[in-house]
Amino acid sequence: MKKYSFLLMLMVSSLHLNAQKVAFEEYDLNNGLHVILHQDKTAPLVVTSVLYHVGAKNEEEERTGFAHFFEHLLFEGTENIERGDWFKLVTANGGRNNAYTTDDFTYYYEVFPSNNLELGLWMESERMLHPVINEIGVETQNEVVKEEKRLRYDNSPYGNWIFEVRKHMFAKHPYKNIPIGKMEHLDAATLDEFIAFNKKYYIPNNAVLVVAGDFEMEATKKMVADYFDEIPRGEAVKFNRIDETPITNPITAEAFDKNIQIPALFTAYRIPEKTSRESKVLDMISTYLSDGNSSKLYRKLVDEKKMSLQVAAFNMSMEDYGLYVILSLPLGDTTLSAIRDEIDEEVEKIQSDLISEKDYKKLLNKFESDFVDSNGSVEGIANSLAEYYTIYGDTDLINSEIDIYRSITREEIREVANKYLKPNQRLTLNYLPESN
């Protein structure tokens, strides 16, 4: 009976995965705007989103923070949406909206009842065509961004660890900075510089529009054409990758944080870009090491040896490079060096031995489950479609990326761990309480 129950579970699981296939249609307008449409009538909701291929890495050396600043600035208003009315207009029509900035892109979206699709399209076309960029908006958002930096970084426990890691891992590439940037750069910027940034990057041929949810296909195509077709094409954006010199000697550093009492250990490695197969292998390694209470590092350092309060391994994947980071907070009198030795031992096991078949199957099941979850809402689907198109150049990866993870072997996991997680290629950062 148990055997048949297991087989039934497998069949149900397989059907569930197959049912997750995301259908979409994509095309370009004459001005270069890429359009992706995903119809899903299971709920009376529709998402309109625009991803602009501009992030922190596109900023000038002395003007960091521009991309993130624009994420705020472009909610100030347009020629046809009064200053302060953007969020009022959304909520008054039963919607919600948000935006976020990464090192590589900036993403805006609205979620409306499906009968307000046209409103969402109009608002995003207004943002692209008629933004109002003036002194009062710049000054207002400057203060907003400064407050965000104080809350998220300057006055938050462990808030600046990522900046400390990046500045050691990248010497030339803009990834050495974090998206929020330096406030003195924003203070020094002129209005003309903000206008120029908008003109350069916020153009249809540097963007992708996604509509996902409950809508009629042909009517939506007409609305997209009506609101976006006449927006002028901009000059083609040139993306020049900056190559870093390989790290061949270990880096050891200290940083101090006035907001903490417990030190932290950060170990970081520079790894390949997000689109590489090796980056996905490293995703699996991080899950193997620290995802959940049964993971290798958590069970060893937190449960068994009682050496750590917390431990985590994660792949910060980006368009040009990535960072593989392992962090731990010691418990009691445990030293950071003792924790590092224990972590190294687990990494060395992956480098020398194949992970067990049981652990390998557990990994695959985890990624299968995450794949299903990622396509579980129209918001998530809209975001994924935009990112797969922009970063990977292959929108259909929303359906097929899981096959890449399925094809990764235990031998490949060992090989990639040996290649990228070497002691001579890493930063060891002791992140310490600042003494008074």
Q: Which letter does DSSP use for residue 238 in this model?
A: P
What are the pLDDT digits (tens) for 148-158? 999 999 999 99
9, with CB counted inside 10 A (0-12, 13-18, 19+), is exposed
Residue 213 has pLDDT above 80, yes or no: yes
Instruction: Single out the residue of 204, 231, 212 nearest to residue 26, CA to CA.
Output: 212
Measure the CA–CA gap between 322 and 274, rounded to whole angstroms. Answer: 7
Phi, psi of 13, deg, nearest 5: -60, -40
Backbone torsion region of residue 14, taken as left when φ is above 0, otherwise alpha when ψ lies between -120 and 50, otherwise beta: alpha
Percent of the chain with pLDDT over 70: 95
Angle at 156 between CA 341 and CA 67, to 5 degrees: 100
Same domain for 354 and 269 = yes
Measure the CA–CA gap between 350 and 79, rounded to whole angstroms. Answer: 58
- Per the structure block, which two tokens stand in for 258? 């006035």
pTM listed for this prediction: 0.93
Same domain for 108 and 214 = yes
Task: Tell me what pLDDT residue 8 has.
Answer: 35
Task: Tell me what pLDDT residue 179 has.
Answer: 96
Residues in the chain: 436
Report if residue 9 sits inside a domain.
Answer: no
What are the pLDDT digits (tens) for 215-247? 999 999 999 999 999 999 999 999 888 999 999
Residue type, 114: S
Domain boundary among 176, 193, 228: 228
Residue 5 has pLDDT above 70, yes or no: no
Domain range enclosing 334: 251-433
* Strand (E) or helix (H) holding 100: strand 96-101
Phi, psi of 426, deg, nearest 5: -125, 160
Q: Which letter does DSSP use for residue 46 in this model?
A: E
Q: Is residue 405 classed as helix, strand or coil in its secondary structure?
A: helix
Residue 161 has pLDDT above 60, yes or no: yes
Residue 406 has pLDDT above 50, yes or no: yes
**40 or 1, higher pLDDT:** 40
Task: Work out how many domains the chain is built from and give that number.
Answer: 2
Same domain for 165 and 93 = yes
* Strand (E) or helix (H) holding 253: strand 251-257
Same domain for 214 and 269 = no
Instruction: Single out the residue of 260, 268, 274, 261 nearest to residue 390, CA to CA.
Output: 274
Report if residue 246 sits inside a domain.
Answer: no
Measure the CA–CA gap between 304 and 435, rounded to whole angstroms. Answer: 31
**What's the order of all strands across the beta sheet hosting 25-28?**
25-28, 34-39, 207-213, 45-52, 106-113, 96-101
Tabulate helix, strand, coil % of the chain (nearest 5).
Answer: 50, 20, 30
Report if residue 54 sits inside a domain.
Answer: yes
Same domain for 260 and 200 = no
In the block, residue with structure tokens 């960091």: 64
Residue type, 296: K
Same domain for 183 and 49 = yes
Q: Are the beta carbons of 311 and 327 closer than 8 angstroms?
A: yes
Report if residue 1 sits inside a domain.
Answer: no
Instruction: Give the mean model confidence (pLDDT) for residues 152-177.
Output: 96
Number of neighbouring beta carbons within 10 Å of residue 14: 11
Same domain for 277 and 221 = no
Residue 14 has pLDDT above 50, yes or no: no
Same domain for 270 and 202 = no
Angle at 191 between CA 146 and CA 199, to 5 degrees: 105
Q: What is the CA radius of gyration of the chain?
A: 24
Same domain for 259 and 224 = no
Task: Tell me what pLDDT residue 20 has.
Answer: 67
Residue type, 25: E
Same domain for 208 and 342 = no
Which CATH number goes with the domain that contains 419?
3.30.830.10
Report if residue 8 sits inside a domain.
Answer: no
Q: Cβ contacts of residue 278 below 8 Å, gap of 6+?
A: 271, 272, 416, 419, 420
Taking the CA of residue 353 as centre, how many other CA atoms within 13 Å lie in the half-sphere pointing to its CB?
10
Report if residue 3 sits inside a domain.
Answer: no
User: What sign results for the dihedral spanned by CA atoms 419, 422, 424, 428?
Assistant: positive
Task: Tell me what pLDDT residue 372 has.
Answer: 87
Domain boundary among 193, 228, 263: 228
Residue 49 has pLDDT above 60, yes or no: yes
Instruction: Give the mean model confidence (pLDDT) for residues 60-73.
Output: 96
Measure the CA–CA gap between 329 and 307, rounded to whole angstroms. Answer: 9
Same domain for 266 and 224 = no
Task: Tell me what pLDDT residue 11 has.
Answer: 38
Same domain for 270 and 209 = no
What mean pLDDT is reported for the chain?
A: 94
Report if residue 237 sits inside a domain.
Answer: no
Report if residue 234 sits inside a domain.
Answer: no
